[in-house]
Structure 1
Amino acid sequence: MMEQLQEGYVTSVAATAGCTVERVSRDLWSADVQFIRPPLTALEEEAMVFAQLKSTTLVEPGPAKEFFSYQFSKRQYFDHMVKPRKNQKAILIVMAVPPQQRQWTEVGHDGLITRRCCYWVHLEGVYAAPEIQRPTVKIPTKNTFDAAALTLILDKVDRGESLHE
């Protein structure tokens, strides 16, 4: 159910940013979705980025904390996120949800509110010793995943700039 909630969240963000989000049907490279922003003209390329989606009920990030820790369940998920990529870049998107499923959303006449949010990080080049089977990474709480963040990420990809801060 957490996966379904997160897919809805990132799909809403992509729509707000003017992008599409395509589900990757086979988990070969630890990419769950691909965000695609259409070009401005027919002579330009699309901007694209892969994303690995993870959810957790174990943390409650907030603006008072500089970061939170996320531990991968498998080494291979980490390895695919940290490897150098020449072409299409990849980001990790972690959604922190309340432990009680009934608290995930709230509906009112103003709209649907999703409790807590997603955070993103670019891990290319991050190192963890080979013997660590479940690496832990730090996710900056300033990296909320919203339409402005997705637009910035795709702008940087378009210009060939680093996604690291």
Structure 2
Amino acid sequence: MEQLQQGYIKSVAATAGLAVEVVPVDVYGYDIRLIKPPRDAMDEESALLAQLKCTTQIVPDVSREHFSYQFTKRQYFDHLVKPRRYPKAILIVMTTPTRQSDWTEVTHDGLWTRRSCYWAYLEGVHADPSIKKPTVHIPTKNKVDAASLIEILDKIDRGESLND
């Protein structure tokens, strides 16, 4: 699952012109860093941290505004909800079929990945401290594609909220 999700993110990020840096060890619950190169030599690059989760238990209904995802550990939730100046961080949840052989399909038209990744920005979200495995809502409109990654990083560059 981890390799499938990293491959999905790397493919989408490549389409967006972004670099993906896989975090080799669990550093504060983040798995990758997405980096947007500067527009010119005098600009800075932009970066975004992401925690990757993958599940076979969820099939998002795109006619609904969101689906629910439950963390397996409280600490994963806590890393995403704390206030951060920079870099900002998002949760990326990939949903996959239950059978591994159904995850991808190769045709003459291309490589197809079954199901998608969705992102959520959780900074400031609260859950009762007694809840060991918090559940969050993932907006179905927040599909991870090249355009969404560029938009997220552009908002960070402009100092805008990722909740809009």
Q: Residues of 1 paired with 2:25 and 2:102: CA distance?
A: 31
TM-aligned CA deviation for residue 65 of structure 1: 2.0
Please, what TM-score do these two structures have when normalized by structure 2? 0.98
Q: What runs of 5+ residues in structure 2 fail to find an aligned partner? A: none
Please, what TM-score do these two structures have when normalized by structure 1? 0.98
- Secondary structure class of the residue paired with 2:30: coil
Q: Residues of 2 paired with 1:26 and 1:97: CA distance?
A: 24
The residue that corresponds to 2:98 in the other structure is 99
The residue that corresponds to 1:28 in the other structure is 27
* AA at the equivalent of 2:22: R
The residue that corresponds to 2:89 in the other structure is 90
> Deviation digits for residues 122-158 of structure 1, max 9, x if unmatched?
0000000000000000000010000000000000011
The residue that corresponds to 2:139 in the other structure is 140
> Deviation digits for residues 87-145 of structure 1, max 9, x if unmatched?
11000000000111111111100000000000001000000000000000000001000
- Secondary structure class of the residue paired with 2:128: coil
**Identical columns (%):** 62
- Residue pairs, 1:17-56, within 5 angstroms: 17-56=16-55
TM-aligned CA deviation for residue 62 of structure 1: 3.1
- Secondary structure class of the residue paired with 1:155: helix
- Secondary structure class of the residue paired with 2:77: helix
Q: What runs of 5+ residues in structure 1 fail to find an aligned partner? A: none
- Secondary structure class of the residue paired with 1:81: helix
Q: Residues of 2 paired with 1:103 and 1:129: CA distance?
A: 37
TM-aligned CA deviation for residue 66 of structure 1: 1.5
> Deviation digits for residues 51-108 of structure 1, max 9, x if unmatched?
0000001110132121110000000000000000011100000000011111111110
- Secondary structure class of the residue paired with 2:17: coil
- Secondary structure class of the residue paired with 1:32: strand
Q: CA RMSD in A?
A: 0.7
Q: Which structure has more strand as a fraction of its residues?
A: 2
* AA at the equivalent of 2:42: L
- Secondary structure class of the residue paired with 1:77: helix
